[in-house]
Structure 1
Amino acid sequence: MSPQPPASAAALRARAETAGLHLPGLILAAEQLAAQVSPGAHGLRRAGPGEDFWQYRPASAGDGMRAIDWRRSARSDQDFVRDREAQTAQTAAIWVSGGQGMAFSGASDRETKAERARLLALALAMLMLRGGERVGLLGQRARSGRLQAERLAEALVAAPAAQADFDAPDAGALRPRQRVVLIADFLARPDWLPGFLAQAAGLGTTGVILQLLDPDEESFPYHGAVLFRSQSGALRHESRDAGALRGAYLARLAERRDWLAAQAGAAGWRYVHASTGDLPADSLTELWQMMGR
Protein backbone atom coordinates (compact mmCIF):
# COMPACT_ATOMS: atom_id res chain seq x y z
CA MET A 1 0.00 0.00 0.00
CA SER A 2 1.41 3.39 -0.94
CA PRO A 3 1.81 5.87 1.91
CA GLN A 4 -0.89 8.46 2.44
CA PRO A 5 0.00 11.97 1.26
CA PRO A 6 0.67 14.55 3.99
CA ALA A 7 -2.44 15.97 5.58
CA SER A 8 -1.75 19.42 4.17
CA ALA A 9 -1.45 18.08 0.63
CA ALA A 10 -4.59 15.96 1.02
CA ALA A 11 -6.50 18.94 2.37
CA LEU A 12 -5.29 21.10 -0.49
CA ARG A 13 -6.33 18.51 -3.05
CA ALA A 14 -9.75 18.08 -1.44
CA ARG A 15 -10.26 21.80 -1.38
CA ALA A 16 -9.27 22.13 -5.02
CA GLU A 17 -11.71 19.39 -6.00
CA THR A 18 -14.50 21.01 -3.98
CA ALA A 19 -13.76 24.40 -5.48
CA GLY A 20 -13.90 22.92 -8.96
CA LEU A 21 -17.48 21.82 -8.38
CA HIS A 22 -18.57 25.44 -8.00
CA LEU A 23 -16.79 26.82 -11.07
CA PRO A 24 -19.35 25.99 -13.79
CA GLY A 25 -22.17 27.47 -11.76
CA LEU A 26 -20.24 30.64 -10.93
CA ILE A 27 -19.15 31.17 -14.53
CA LEU A 28 -22.65 30.57 -15.90
CA ALA A 29 -24.26 32.86 -13.31
CA ALA A 30 -21.70 35.60 -13.99
CA GLU A 31 -22.19 35.30 -17.76
CA GLN A 32 -25.96 35.57 -17.39
CA LEU A 33 -25.58 38.53 -15.05
CA ALA A 34 -23.11 40.33 -17.31
CA ALA A 35 -25.47 39.84 -20.25
CA GLN A 36 -28.05 42.00 -18.46
CA VAL A 37 -25.73 45.00 -18.52
CA SER A 38 -24.72 46.81 -21.68
CA PRO A 39 -20.92 46.81 -21.55
CA GLY A 40 -19.90 49.65 -23.84
CA ALA A 41 -16.34 50.92 -23.61
CA HIS A 42 -14.90 53.18 -20.97
CA GLY A 43 -13.19 56.15 -22.58
CA LEU A 44 -10.26 58.05 -21.15
CA ARG A 45 -12.02 61.43 -21.32
CA ARG A 46 -9.61 62.98 -23.78
CA ALA A 47 -9.66 63.55 -27.52
CA GLY A 48 -8.40 60.71 -29.66
CA PRO A 49 -9.42 57.73 -31.76
CA GLY A 50 -12.72 56.24 -30.74
CA GLU A 51 -16.40 55.94 -31.62
CA ASP A 52 -18.09 58.13 -29.01
CA PHE A 53 -18.62 61.89 -29.38
CA TRP A 54 -16.81 63.89 -26.72
CA GLN A 55 -17.03 67.58 -27.54
CA TYR A 56 -17.12 70.30 -30.17
CA ARG A 57 -14.19 72.67 -30.11
CA PRO A 58 -13.27 75.68 -32.26
CA ALA A 59 -11.09 74.75 -35.23
CA SER A 60 -7.43 75.67 -34.93
CA ALA A 61 -4.63 76.20 -37.45
CA GLY A 62 -3.58 72.54 -37.29
CA ASP A 63 -6.99 71.14 -38.24
CA GLY A 64 -7.52 70.13 -41.87
CA MET A 65 -10.66 70.77 -43.88
CA ARG A 66 -11.80 67.17 -43.37
CA ALA A 67 -11.82 67.66 -39.62
CA ILE A 68 -14.40 70.46 -39.77
CA ASP A 69 -17.95 69.57 -38.76
CA TRP A 70 -19.79 71.66 -41.33
CA ARG A 71 -23.26 71.05 -39.91
CA ARG A 72 -22.25 72.42 -36.49
CA SER A 73 -20.20 75.22 -38.05
CA ALA A 74 -23.17 76.36 -40.17
CA ARG A 75 -24.98 77.42 -37.00
CA SER A 76 -22.35 80.04 -36.14
CA ASP A 77 -19.72 82.29 -37.61
CA GLN A 78 -16.92 79.97 -36.50
CA ASP A 79 -15.70 76.58 -37.70
CA PHE A 80 -15.92 73.69 -35.24
CA VAL A 81 -14.23 70.29 -35.00
CA ARG A 82 -16.04 67.24 -33.64
CA ASP A 83 -13.70 65.47 -31.19
CA ARG A 84 -14.17 61.83 -30.31
CA GLU A 85 -13.24 60.30 -26.98
CA ALA A 86 -10.09 58.22 -26.81
CA GLN A 87 -10.79 54.59 -26.02
CA THR A 88 -7.77 52.45 -25.28
CA ALA A 89 -7.25 49.23 -23.40
CA GLN A 90 -7.03 49.75 -19.67
CA THR A 91 -5.92 47.56 -16.80
CA ALA A 92 -8.20 46.77 -13.88
CA ALA A 93 -7.61 44.93 -10.62
CA ILE A 94 -10.31 43.52 -8.33
CA TRP A 95 -9.97 42.73 -4.64
CA VAL A 96 -12.60 40.69 -2.81
CA SER A 97 -12.30 40.49 0.95
CA GLY A 98 -11.60 37.04 2.31
CA GLY A 99 -12.46 38.00 5.87
CA GLN A 100 -14.51 35.54 7.91
CA GLY A 101 -17.25 38.14 8.18
CA MET A 102 -17.98 37.79 4.46
CA ALA A 103 -19.35 34.29 5.13
CA PHE A 104 -22.38 35.75 6.93
CA SER A 105 -25.94 35.37 5.71
CA GLY A 106 -28.96 36.36 7.74
CA ALA A 107 -31.19 33.72 6.15
CA SER A 108 -30.63 30.13 5.12
CA ASP A 109 -32.07 30.77 1.64
CA ARG A 110 -29.93 33.87 1.02
CA GLU A 111 -26.43 33.74 -0.38
CA THR A 112 -23.54 34.90 1.75
CA LYS A 113 -21.75 38.17 1.16
CA ALA A 114 -18.75 36.21 -0.11
CA GLU A 115 -20.86 34.40 -2.71
CA ARG A 116 -22.44 37.62 -3.96
CA ALA A 117 -19.05 39.37 -3.98
CA ARG A 118 -17.53 36.64 -6.15
CA LEU A 119 -20.47 36.81 -8.54
CA LEU A 120 -20.29 40.59 -8.91
CA ALA A 121 -16.51 40.54 -9.25
CA LEU A 122 -16.56 37.94 -12.02
CA ALA A 123 -19.47 39.52 -13.89
CA LEU A 124 -17.76 42.92 -13.73
CA ALA A 125 -14.55 41.37 -15.00
CA MET A 126 -16.44 39.80 -17.90
CA LEU A 127 -17.85 43.17 -18.88
CA MET A 128 -14.40 44.72 -18.87
CA LEU A 129 -12.89 41.80 -20.76
CA ARG A 130 -15.55 42.17 -23.45
CA GLY A 131 -14.45 45.77 -23.81
CA GLY A 132 -10.89 44.64 -24.52
CA GLU A 133 -9.52 45.52 -21.10
CA ARG A 134 -6.96 43.60 -19.11
CA VAL A 135 -8.33 42.38 -15.78
CA GLY A 136 -6.89 40.48 -12.84
CA LEU A 137 -7.27 40.07 -9.13
CA LEU A 138 -5.21 42.57 -7.17
CA GLY A 139 -1.68 41.24 -6.91
CA GLN A 140 -2.09 38.86 -9.83
CA ARG A 141 -1.32 39.32 -13.50
CA ALA A 142 -3.97 41.19 -15.47
CA ARG A 143 -4.80 39.64 -18.82
CA SER A 144 -7.38 39.98 -21.57
CA GLY A 145 -9.44 37.39 -23.42
CA ARG A 146 -12.14 34.83 -22.70
CA LEU A 147 -9.77 32.45 -20.98
CA GLN A 148 -8.99 35.08 -18.37
CA ALA A 149 -12.58 34.92 -17.11
CA GLU A 150 -12.09 31.24 -16.32
CA ARG A 151 -8.78 31.97 -14.58
CA LEU A 152 -10.48 34.63 -12.48
CA ALA A 153 -13.32 32.28 -11.56
CA GLU A 154 -10.82 29.66 -10.43
CA ALA A 155 -8.87 32.22 -8.39
CA LEU A 156 -12.01 33.63 -6.75
CA VAL A 157 -13.33 30.21 -5.72
CA ALA A 158 -9.95 28.93 -4.54
CA ALA A 159 -8.96 32.07 -2.62
CA PRO A 160 -8.27 31.18 1.02
CA ALA A 161 -10.38 32.75 3.74
CA ALA A 162 -8.60 34.97 6.22
CA GLN A 163 -8.22 33.79 9.80
CA ALA A 164 -9.71 37.01 11.16
CA ASP A 165 -13.14 38.51 10.60
CA PHE A 166 -11.67 41.29 8.46
CA ASP A 167 -8.69 41.65 6.14
CA ALA A 168 -7.05 44.28 3.93
CA PRO A 169 -5.66 44.44 0.40
CA ASP A 170 -1.93 44.76 -0.22
CA ALA A 171 -1.13 48.35 -1.22
CA GLY A 172 2.16 47.08 -2.59
CA ALA A 173 0.22 45.28 -5.33
CA LEU A 174 -1.03 48.57 -6.80
CA ARG A 175 0.28 49.51 -10.23
CA PRO A 176 0.34 52.88 -12.01
CA ARG A 177 -2.85 54.04 -13.72
CA GLN A 178 -4.86 50.95 -12.84
CA ARG A 179 -8.54 50.98 -12.08
CA VAL A 180 -9.18 49.09 -8.86
CA VAL A 181 -12.36 47.69 -7.32
CA LEU A 182 -12.45 46.90 -3.61
CA ILE A 183 -15.33 44.68 -2.43
CA ALA A 184 -15.84 44.12 1.30
CA ASP A 185 -18.39 44.74 4.03
CA PHE A 186 -16.20 47.39 5.74
CA LEU A 187 -18.02 46.82 9.03
CA ALA A 188 -14.79 47.10 10.98
CA ARG A 189 -13.32 50.56 10.51
CA PRO A 190 -10.71 50.05 7.77
CA ASP A 191 -7.84 52.08 9.17
CA TRP A 192 -5.75 50.83 6.26
CA LEU A 193 -7.92 52.61 3.69
CA PRO A 194 -6.49 56.18 3.88
CA GLY A 195 -2.94 54.88 3.35
CA PHE A 196 -4.07 52.57 0.56
CA LEU A 197 -5.87 55.40 -1.25
CA ALA A 198 -2.93 57.76 -0.75
CA GLN A 199 -0.59 55.27 -2.38
CA ALA A 200 -3.08 54.75 -5.20
CA ALA A 201 -3.31 58.50 -5.78
CA GLY A 202 0.46 58.72 -6.02
CA LEU A 203 0.36 56.13 -8.80
CA GLY A 204 -2.47 57.79 -10.69
CA THR A 205 -4.70 54.83 -9.81
CA THR A 206 -8.43 55.31 -9.32
CA GLY A 207 -11.30 52.98 -8.62
CA VAL A 208 -14.48 52.09 -6.78
CA ILE A 209 -15.17 50.98 -3.22
CA LEU A 210 -18.15 48.63 -2.96
CA GLN A 211 -19.54 48.02 0.52
CA LEU A 212 -21.57 44.83 0.42
CA LEU A 213 -23.86 43.95 3.32
CA ASP A 214 -26.55 41.44 4.22
CA PRO A 215 -30.08 42.88 4.66
CA ASP A 216 -29.94 42.06 8.38
CA GLU A 217 -26.77 44.11 8.68
CA GLU A 218 -28.54 47.02 7.03
CA SER A 219 -31.76 46.95 9.06
CA PHE A 220 -30.73 45.29 12.38
CA PRO A 221 -34.02 43.37 12.82
CA TYR A 222 -33.21 41.96 16.26
CA HIS A 223 -35.32 41.94 19.41
CA GLY A 224 -35.05 40.63 22.93
CA ALA A 225 -32.14 38.60 24.21
CA VAL A 226 -29.58 38.02 21.46
CA LEU A 227 -26.01 36.76 21.52
CA PHE A 228 -24.02 38.50 18.79
CA ARG A 229 -20.92 36.64 17.68
CA SER A 230 -18.56 37.35 14.82
CA GLN A 231 -17.98 34.63 12.23
CA SER A 232 -14.56 33.81 13.64
CA GLY A 233 -15.85 33.79 17.21
CA ALA A 234 -13.32 36.41 18.22
CA LEU A 235 -15.97 39.00 19.05
CA ARG A 236 -19.00 38.37 21.25
CA HIS A 237 -21.67 40.61 22.72
CA GLU A 238 -24.73 39.47 24.65
CA SER A 239 -27.71 41.79 24.83
CA ARG A 240 -30.93 41.37 26.78
CA ASP A 241 -32.69 44.01 24.67
CA ALA A 242 -31.27 43.97 21.16
CA GLY A 243 -33.99 46.26 19.85
CA ALA A 244 -32.66 49.06 22.03
CA LEU A 245 -29.38 48.92 20.12
CA ARG A 246 -30.95 49.50 16.70
CA GLY A 247 -30.80 53.30 16.72
CA ALA A 248 -27.15 53.43 17.73
CA TYR A 249 -26.24 50.72 15.24
CA LEU A 250 -27.95 52.43 12.30
CA ALA A 251 -26.32 55.73 13.24
CA ARG A 252 -22.89 54.07 13.27
CA LEU A 253 -23.60 52.44 9.92
CA ALA A 254 -24.56 55.79 8.39
CA GLU A 255 -21.41 57.32 9.86
CA ARG A 256 -19.32 54.53 8.35
CA ARG A 257 -20.85 55.06 4.93
CA ASP A 258 -20.24 58.79 5.10
CA TRP A 259 -16.62 58.14 6.09
CA LEU A 260 -16.07 55.68 3.24
CA ALA A 261 -17.63 58.08 0.74
CA ALA A 262 -15.47 60.94 2.02
CA GLN A 263 -12.28 58.88 1.83
CA ALA A 264 -13.13 57.75 -1.68
CA GLY A 265 -14.05 61.23 -2.89
CA ALA A 266 -10.89 62.80 -1.52
CA ALA A 267 -8.80 60.33 -3.54
CA GLY A 268 -10.82 60.67 -6.74
CA TRP A 269 -12.49 57.30 -6.20
CA ARG A 270 -16.18 56.36 -6.08
CA TYR A 271 -18.10 54.72 -3.26
CA VAL A 272 -21.22 52.60 -3.64
CA HIS A 273 -23.04 50.25 -1.29
CA ALA A 274 -25.13 47.18 -2.11
CA SER A 275 -27.01 44.43 -0.34
CA THR A 276 -27.28 40.71 -0.96
CA GLY A 277 -31.01 41.36 -0.85
CA ASP A 278 -30.76 43.51 -3.98
CA LEU A 279 -31.08 42.09 -7.46
CA PRO A 280 -27.54 41.25 -8.64
CA ALA A 281 -28.21 43.01 -11.96
CA ASP A 282 -29.04 46.26 -10.16
CA SER A 283 -25.84 46.12 -8.11
CA LEU A 284 -23.73 45.28 -11.16
CA THR A 285 -25.29 48.08 -13.23
CA GLU A 286 -24.53 50.66 -10.56
CA LEU A 287 -21.01 49.34 -10.11
CA TRP A 288 -20.43 49.39 -13.86
CA GLN A 289 -21.68 52.96 -14.12
CA MET A 290 -19.35 53.98 -11.31
CA MET A 291 -16.45 52.43 -13.19
CA GLY A 292 -17.25 54.52 -16.24
CA ARG A 293 -17.36 57.90 -14.52
Structure 2
Amino acid sequence: MSGLKPSLKIYDSHTHLNDDVFYSDVPAYLARARHFGVVEMNMIGSNELLNQRAIELAHRYQGMHAVIGWHPEDIARFDAAAEKTLLNQLEDPFVVGIGEIGLDYFNDEHSPHDDQKRIFERQLAIAKDMHLPVSIHCRDALADTYQILKSAHVDEFGGVMHSFNGDVEWMKRFLDLGMEISYSGVVTFNSAKDVQEAMLKTPLEHLLVETDAPYLTPVPYRGQQNEPGFTRFTVEKIAELREQSSVEVALATFDNASRLFLNH
Protein backbone atom coordinates (compact mmCIF):
# COMPACT_ATOMS: atom_id res chain seq x y z
CA MET A 1 0.00 0.00 0.00
CA SER A 2 2.95 2.33 -0.35
CA GLY A 3 4.05 4.48 -3.24
CA LEU A 4 0.62 5.67 -4.36
CA LYS A 5 0.86 8.42 -6.97
CA PRO A 6 -0.36 11.06 -7.47
CA SER A 7 -1.57 12.50 -4.19
CA LEU A 8 -5.38 12.69 -4.25
CA LYS A 9 -8.07 14.15 -2.02
CA ILE A 10 -11.16 11.91 -2.21
CA TYR A 11 -14.68 12.02 -0.76
CA ASP A 12 -16.35 8.62 -0.21
CA SER A 13 -19.96 9.75 -0.42
CA HIS A 14 -21.49 6.51 0.87
CA THR A 15 -19.91 4.06 3.29
CA HIS A 16 -20.77 2.07 6.41
CA LEU A 17 -18.10 2.17 9.11
CA ASN A 18 -21.11 2.07 11.46
CA ASP A 19 -21.64 -1.54 10.34
CA ASP A 20 -20.75 -4.34 12.76
CA VAL A 21 -17.83 -5.54 10.62
CA PHE A 22 -16.05 -2.18 11.04
CA TYR A 23 -17.44 -0.61 14.19
CA SER A 24 -14.94 -2.08 16.68
CA ASP A 25 -11.91 -1.04 14.62
CA VAL A 26 -12.83 2.28 13.02
CA PRO A 27 -9.45 4.01 13.65
CA ALA A 28 -7.62 1.35 11.61
CA TYR A 29 -9.95 1.69 8.64
CA LEU A 30 -9.79 5.45 8.91
CA ALA A 31 -5.98 5.36 8.82
CA ARG A 32 -6.07 3.12 5.74
CA ALA A 33 -8.51 5.50 4.09
CA ARG A 34 -6.19 8.43 4.74
CA HIS A 35 -3.34 6.44 3.18
CA PHE A 36 -5.35 6.15 -0.04
CA GLY A 37 -6.28 9.84 0.00
CA VAL A 38 -9.84 9.44 1.26
CA VAL A 39 -10.24 12.36 3.65
CA GLU A 40 -14.02 12.89 3.74
CA MET A 41 -16.73 10.24 4.01
CA ASN A 42 -20.43 9.93 4.70
CA MET A 43 -21.51 7.39 7.29
CA ILE A 44 -24.83 6.07 5.99
CA GLY A 45 -27.57 4.83 8.28
CA SER A 46 -30.50 2.51 7.60
CA ASN A 47 -32.27 1.98 10.95
CA GLU A 48 -32.28 3.41 14.46
CA LEU A 49 -29.06 1.72 15.62
CA LEU A 50 -27.01 2.41 12.50
CA ASN A 51 -28.31 5.96 12.37
CA GLN A 52 -27.15 6.57 15.92
CA ARG A 53 -23.77 5.00 15.21
CA ALA A 54 -23.36 7.21 12.13
CA ILE A 55 -23.95 10.29 14.27
CA GLU A 56 -21.54 9.08 16.94
CA LEU A 57 -18.79 8.51 14.37
CA ALA A 58 -19.38 11.93 12.82
CA HIS A 59 -18.95 13.52 16.24
CA ARG A 60 -15.85 11.52 17.02
CA TYR A 61 -13.77 11.70 13.83
CA GLN A 62 -12.82 14.62 11.63
CA GLY A 63 -13.94 14.22 8.04
CA MET A 64 -16.89 11.96 8.87
CA HIS A 65 -20.48 13.07 8.27
CA ALA A 66 -23.78 11.37 9.09
CA VAL A 67 -26.51 10.64 6.56
CA ILE A 68 -29.40 8.93 8.32
CA GLY A 69 -32.73 7.40 7.40
CA TRP A 70 -34.62 4.13 7.04
CA HIS A 71 -33.58 1.65 4.36
CA PRO A 72 -36.42 -0.17 2.53
CA GLU A 73 -35.28 -3.49 4.02
CA ASP A 74 -35.75 -2.08 7.54
CA ILE A 75 -39.15 -0.45 7.19
CA ALA A 76 -41.02 -3.19 9.09
CA ARG A 77 -39.75 -1.42 12.23
CA PHE A 78 -40.49 2.12 11.05
CA ASP A 79 -43.44 3.24 13.17
CA ALA A 80 -44.50 6.49 14.83
CA ALA A 81 -41.88 6.10 17.56
CA ALA A 82 -39.15 5.42 15.00
CA GLU A 83 -40.15 8.48 13.01
CA LYS A 84 -40.01 10.62 16.15
CA THR A 85 -36.52 9.33 16.89
CA LEU A 86 -35.44 10.04 13.32
CA LEU A 87 -36.77 13.59 13.49
CA ASN A 88 -34.81 14.16 16.69
CA GLN A 89 -31.66 12.66 15.20
CA LEU A 90 -31.97 14.86 12.11
CA GLU A 91 -31.57 17.94 14.33
CA ASP A 92 -27.99 16.94 15.07
CA PRO A 93 -25.59 19.40 13.41
CA PHE A 94 -23.38 16.55 12.16
CA VAL A 95 -26.20 15.13 10.05
CA VAL A 96 -25.81 16.30 6.45
CA GLY A 97 -28.50 14.28 4.66
CA ILE A 98 -31.27 11.70 4.79
CA GLY A 99 -30.49 8.18 3.61
CA GLU A 100 -30.25 5.67 2.56
CA ILE A 101 -33.89 5.68 1.58
CA GLY A 102 -35.71 4.37 -1.45
CA LEU A 103 -37.05 1.18 -2.95
CA ASP A 104 -35.71 -2.38 -3.10
CA TYR A 105 -37.81 -4.82 -5.11
CA PHE A 106 -35.13 -7.52 -4.97
CA ASN A 107 -35.04 -8.02 -1.20
CA ASP A 108 -38.73 -7.42 -0.57
CA GLU A 109 -39.92 -10.50 1.32
CA HIS A 110 -40.59 -8.49 4.49
CA SER A 111 -41.09 -5.10 2.81
CA PRO A 112 -44.26 -4.91 0.69
CA HIS A 113 -43.95 -2.49 -2.21
CA ASP A 114 -46.81 -0.28 -1.03
CA ASP A 115 -45.20 0.08 2.40
CA GLN A 116 -41.84 0.87 0.81
CA LYS A 117 -43.40 3.59 -1.33
CA ARG A 118 -45.29 5.12 1.58
CA ILE A 119 -42.24 5.33 3.84
CA PHE A 120 -40.04 6.53 1.01
CA GLU A 121 -42.52 9.33 0.29
CA ARG A 122 -42.69 10.22 3.97
CA GLN A 123 -38.92 10.51 4.29
CA LEU A 124 -38.76 12.63 1.14
CA ALA A 125 -41.34 14.93 2.68
CA ILE A 126 -39.16 15.23 5.78
CA ALA A 127 -36.14 16.00 3.59
CA LYS A 128 -38.10 18.72 1.82
CA ASP A 129 -39.27 20.24 5.11
CA MET A 130 -35.75 20.25 6.55
CA HIS A 131 -34.07 21.08 3.23
CA LEU A 132 -31.68 18.13 3.47
CA PRO A 133 -30.33 16.21 0.47
CA VAL A 134 -31.21 12.53 0.10
CA SER A 135 -29.17 9.43 -0.68
CA ILE A 136 -31.31 7.06 -2.74
CA HIS A 137 -31.20 3.27 -2.68
CA CYS A 138 -32.78 1.79 -5.79
CA ARG A 139 -32.72 -1.89 -6.69
CA ASP A 140 -34.95 -3.33 -9.40
CA ALA A 141 -37.23 -0.30 -8.97
CA LEU A 142 -36.03 2.41 -11.34
CA ALA A 143 -39.44 3.41 -12.70
CA ASP A 144 -41.16 3.73 -9.32
CA THR A 145 -38.15 5.47 -7.78
CA TYR A 146 -38.11 7.98 -10.61
CA GLN A 147 -41.82 8.73 -10.33
CA ILE A 148 -41.72 9.20 -6.56
CA LEU A 149 -38.70 11.51 -6.75
CA LYS A 150 -40.37 13.49 -9.50
CA SER A 151 -43.59 13.86 -7.50
CA ALA A 152 -41.57 14.94 -4.46
CA HIS A 153 -39.88 17.74 -6.47
CA VAL A 154 -36.48 16.48 -5.38
CA ASP A 155 -34.81 19.32 -7.29
CA GLU A 156 -35.91 21.61 -4.45
CA PHE A 157 -33.66 19.87 -1.90
CA GLY A 158 -31.26 17.71 -3.89
CA GLY A 159 -30.00 14.19 -3.74
CA VAL A 160 -27.85 11.45 -5.19
CA MET A 161 -28.55 8.10 -6.81
CA HIS A 162 -26.28 5.95 -4.69
CA SER A 163 -24.31 3.20 -6.49
CA PHE A 164 -26.14 3.91 -9.71
CA ASN A 165 -26.74 0.73 -11.70
CA GLY A 166 -28.97 1.88 -14.55
CA ASP A 167 -28.19 2.61 -18.18
CA VAL A 168 -27.51 5.91 -19.94
CA GLU A 169 -31.18 6.75 -20.49
CA TRP A 170 -32.08 6.27 -16.83
CA MET A 171 -29.03 8.29 -15.81
CA LYS A 172 -30.23 11.16 -17.98
CA ARG A 173 -33.76 10.96 -16.55
CA PHE A 174 -32.50 11.20 -12.97
CA LEU A 175 -30.16 14.05 -13.92
CA ASP A 176 -33.17 15.87 -15.36
CA LEU A 177 -34.84 15.59 -11.94
CA GLY A 178 -31.88 17.43 -10.40
CA MET A 179 -30.15 14.36 -8.97
CA GLU A 180 -26.43 13.69 -8.76
CA ILE A 181 -25.11 10.28 -9.84
CA SER A 182 -22.73 8.23 -7.68
CA TYR A 183 -20.66 5.28 -8.83
CA SER A 184 -19.31 2.49 -6.64
CA GLY A 185 -16.80 -0.28 -7.28
CA VAL A 186 -19.27 -1.82 -9.74
CA VAL A 187 -17.98 0.63 -12.35
CA THR A 188 -14.59 -1.14 -12.19
CA PHE A 189 -16.12 -4.50 -13.25
CA ASN A 190 -15.55 -5.38 -16.90
CA SER A 191 -19.00 -7.00 -16.94
CA ALA A 192 -20.76 -3.77 -15.93
CA LYS A 193 -20.90 -2.28 -19.43
CA ASP A 194 -24.19 -0.40 -18.91
CA VAL A 195 -22.88 1.21 -15.73
CA GLN A 196 -19.59 2.14 -17.38
CA GLU A 197 -21.42 3.68 -20.34
CA ALA A 198 -23.69 5.66 -18.01
CA MET A 199 -20.65 6.90 -16.11
CA LEU A 200 -18.98 8.04 -19.33
CA LYS A 201 -22.07 10.05 -20.23
CA THR A 202 -22.48 11.57 -16.75
CA PRO A 203 -21.32 15.21 -16.70
CA LEU A 204 -18.30 15.48 -14.42
CA GLU A 205 -20.01 18.24 -12.43
CA HIS A 206 -22.75 15.78 -11.40
CA LEU A 207 -20.61 12.70 -10.67
CA LEU A 208 -19.83 11.33 -7.18
CA VAL A 209 -17.86 8.30 -6.01
CA GLU A 210 -18.40 5.87 -3.15
CA THR A 211 -17.54 2.46 -1.77
CA ASP A 212 -20.78 1.28 -0.12
CA ALA A 213 -18.32 -0.63 2.08
CA PRO A 214 -18.35 -3.40 3.12
CA TYR A 215 -20.07 -4.20 -0.19
CA LEU A 216 -19.22 -3.79 -3.92
CA THR A 217 -15.45 -3.97 -3.64
CA PRO A 218 -13.66 -2.53 -6.68
CA VAL A 219 -11.01 -4.21 -8.78
CA PRO A 220 -8.22 -5.03 -7.83
CA TYR A 221 -9.65 -6.12 -4.46
CA ARG A 222 -12.93 -7.55 -5.79
CA GLY A 223 -13.94 -10.60 -3.75
CA GLN A 224 -12.54 -9.12 -0.53
CA GLN A 225 -14.31 -6.97 2.04
CA ASN A 226 -14.59 -3.39 0.85
CA GLU A 227 -13.47 -0.37 2.89
CA PRO A 228 -13.52 3.42 2.43
CA GLY A 229 -9.92 3.62 1.25
CA PHE A 230 -10.80 1.61 -1.82
CA THR A 231 -12.69 4.60 -3.24
CA ARG A 232 -9.24 5.35 -4.64
CA PHE A 233 -9.54 2.52 -7.16
CA THR A 234 -12.97 3.60 -8.31
CA VAL A 235 -11.62 7.12 -8.92
CA GLU A 236 -8.68 5.74 -10.87
CA LYS A 237 -10.86 3.46 -13.02
CA ILE A 238 -13.27 6.28 -13.80
CA ALA A 239 -10.33 8.47 -14.78
CA GLU A 240 -8.95 5.74 -17.02
CA LEU A 241 -12.28 5.16 -18.76
CA ARG A 242 -12.94 8.89 -19.22
CA GLU A 243 -9.36 9.51 -20.35
CA GLN A 244 -8.94 12.15 -17.68
CA SER A 245 -6.42 12.45 -14.87
CA SER A 246 -7.22 10.86 -11.53
CA VAL A 247 -6.45 14.23 -9.93
CA GLU A 248 -9.15 15.88 -12.02
CA VAL A 249 -11.74 13.20 -11.23
CA ALA A 250 -10.89 13.20 -7.52
CA LEU A 251 -11.13 16.98 -7.30
CA ALA A 252 -14.43 17.17 -9.19
CA THR A 253 -16.11 14.39 -7.23
CA PHE A 254 -14.83 15.86 -3.96
CA ASP A 255 -16.25 19.26 -4.84
CA ASN A 256 -19.55 17.75 -6.00
CA ALA A 257 -20.06 15.77 -2.79
CA SER A 258 -19.05 18.76 -0.68
CA ARG A 259 -21.50 21.00 -2.52
CA LEU A 260 -24.37 18.54 -2.05
CA PHE A 261 -23.80 17.53 1.55
CA LEU A 262 -21.59 20.12 3.26
CA ASN A 263 -22.48 23.38 1.54
CA HIS A 264 -26.15 22.65 0.96
Indicate the TM-score class for this superposition, using the shorter chain for normalisation.
0.3 to 0.5
Larger Rg: 1
Q: TM-score, normalised by structure 2?
A: 0.35
Bigger fraction of residues in helix: 2
